[in-house]
Structure 1
Amino acid sequence: MQDGSSRRITEGRKMNLGIALRRLCVPLAAAALVLATTTTAMAAPAASKTPSFIDFVQQGTTQRASSNRGACWKMSIRSVETKSYVTNRLEYTGSDETMLTATSPAITNRELFFVCNTDVDTFSIESYVGDYVTTEVDYTGPKKGMLRARNKNIGAWEKYKFTCDTAKICYIKSVGAGKYVTAEYSYTGSGYGMLRARADNVGNWERFYIVEF
């Protein structure tokens, strides 16, 4: 049986041991928290945000090649000359069926397109109904180079290059035709505002606003 003095010594030793253990646990807990936070950060890096279409086009080719390849943007395309939107003429028939014209005053499904990066500096243009825009290189006369949303696959005739400025105004160049896309406002009737890849230089008829969604 311990006397009072022995009990006090024993209790003091237990108290000192408890304090030491608590002091040891604090840095261990902090280290565990740091390790858990670091592991979480390494396992789940923040997802990179796809830049706007204009920003993407204005990047250098090296930067475009290393990031956001295959990205797509939903947009409407609007003529600088008349402020009319490019539309898919589903009601046309024959060789004019699904011709693109810059003639619509408002945006509906026919004025919506998905523009996707196909390689470093070219893009495809897909209509809302799922057909790719084609440059009709083999047409002749005033329809040569007409743009139509009519193909299910992407080849050279379905590829385009965009050059854009900070005002969200772009020139569109057909890879298949090697020409800039023009809105034909000198045409009359059903051909008014027809998009054709036929220009070697750019003016207002070759300038388009990009309206992203």
Structure 2
Amino acid sequence: MRRLMIRALLMVAALALLGSVTPAGASAATTDRFRLVTAANSPFGKGINGCCTLLSEANGKYASAELGYGGRDYGMLRARAGVADAWERFALSGTDTTWTVKSEGNGKYVSAELGYSGNAYGMLRARADVADAWEKFDLYYNEAQNLYALKSQANGKFVSAELGYRGREYAMLRARASEIGAWEKFRLGAF
């Protein structure tokens, strides 16, 4: 009877562990090591206009605004560049806890596309002339790792680099994660 009880407990523990395993590429919880960046505690002041690149920690590629794409994909952000050129430059500006991201390549604010459905829901695009609800983000910082995460204020989701996608959607940036995991971590760099 005692052996049966021990086996049952081991089975329950094993199932609990399996339930907490994060599938390959999916996000594991690390939000507790990141703090919300405000104007008061910002490591770089109220803004770093004209100085930023976003490097995906997960694949080591710079985020690009895809200005060669047409239609609904014009300005899509993808972590796909090995070097930072014109399409990989962004300006971050902050006021208190609200941050905007603006493409230096086309001068447009980055939007989280909440009107799209399916795999395109929350896609980030450099397409707005003014910063409205879909163009506002929270910025989180992990000082120990010098990593950042962006969270859309419009849907409350963290920005992910979609490394499971293929073709022209590979590494598309989307506001879709509930927590900060491997795909949601970025390095900010100067150009």
TM-score past 0.5 threshold: yes
What is the rounded CA distance, in whole Å, between the counterparts of 2:36 and 2:118 in structure 1?
A: 37
1:202 pairs with 2:180: yes
User: How far off its partner does 1:71 sit?
Assistant: 6.0
- 1:63 alignment partner, SS class: coil
Q: Which structure has more helix as a fraction of its residues?
A: 1
| Distance change (3 Å), C-alpha of 1:102 and 1:61 | closer
- The two structures have a TM-score, normalised by structure 1, of 0.67
Question: Larger % of strand: which?
Answer: 2
Distance (whole Å) between structure 2 residues aligned to residue 62 and residue 96 of structure 1:
32
Q: Which residue of 1 aligns with 2:56?
A: 79
Unaligned segments of structure 2, at least 5 residues: 1-33
Other-structure match for 2:85: 108
Higher relative contact order (CA 8 A, sep 6+): 2
Give 2:100's match in structure 1, choosing from 124, 127, 143: 124
Contact 2:37 2:97 in 1 (8 A): no
The corresponding residue for 2:170 is: 192
**Normalising by the residue count of structure 2, what TM-score does the alignment of the two structures yield?**
0.75
Q: Is the 8 A contact 2:36 2:138 kept in 1?
A: no
- Select 2:131's aligned residue among 134, 154, 177: 154
RMSD across aligned positions (CA):
2.3
Q: Does 1:179 align with 2:166?
A: no
- Judge conservation of contact 2:36–2:139 (CA < 8 Å) in 1: no
Identity %: 34
> Which structure: larger Rg?
1
> Residues 84 and 62 of structure 1: is their aligned pair in 2 closer, same or farther, counting only changes over 3 Å?
closer
Aligned residues: 155
